[in-house]
Amino acid sequence: MGQKTSKYLRIKASTLVESIIALLILSIGVGMGMMTYLNVIRSDRAELKTRIKVAVIEVIIKTQDSHLWMDEEVSGQGYTIQKTVTLYNGNPGMYVLSVRAIGGHNEILYSERKIISSQ
């Protein structure tokens, strides 16, 4: 009678060793994917573009906060930010703020243009 009940109660399952191997293979795959992702994020070109965009936005915010309506040029690491301010359609209370980052070979790396009220 003991043998009959053990045949019916037997459940097919994976062993602990099989589960550990599956987790090991999965973690190796995830680790390789994370390394690839971090290499793309850390690439010099992407980092430079992000740094330049942040610098341009800082110049725009600084200009709006301090009401410095004059042209200026700021040098960074491998780029130069040029800010030009002109009147918008001759209206003395409105300005066109053009900010662009120029690289070492006179290439435009990033550019932004805004219409700003002086009030």
In this predicted model, what pLDDT tens digit does every residue of 70-114 receive, in sequence order? Answer: 889 988 778 899 999 999 988 888 899 999 999 888 888 889 999
* Residue where the block lists tokens 């700021």: 74
Question: What pLDDT score was predicted for residue 5?
Answer: 57
Q: Is the pLDDT of residue 53 over 60?
A: yes
CA distance 3 to 81: 85
**Average pLDDT across the chain, whole number:** 85
Distances (CA, A) of 49 to 36, 80, 98, 102: 20, 13, 18, 11
Q: Which amino acid is at 81?
A: I
Q: Which amino acid is at 45?
A: R
pTM: 0.59
CA distance 62 to 105: 27
**Helix runs in 10-43, H state only:** 16-41
Which residues touch 94 (CB under 8 Å, ≥6 apart)? Answer: 87, 88, 115, 116, 117, 118
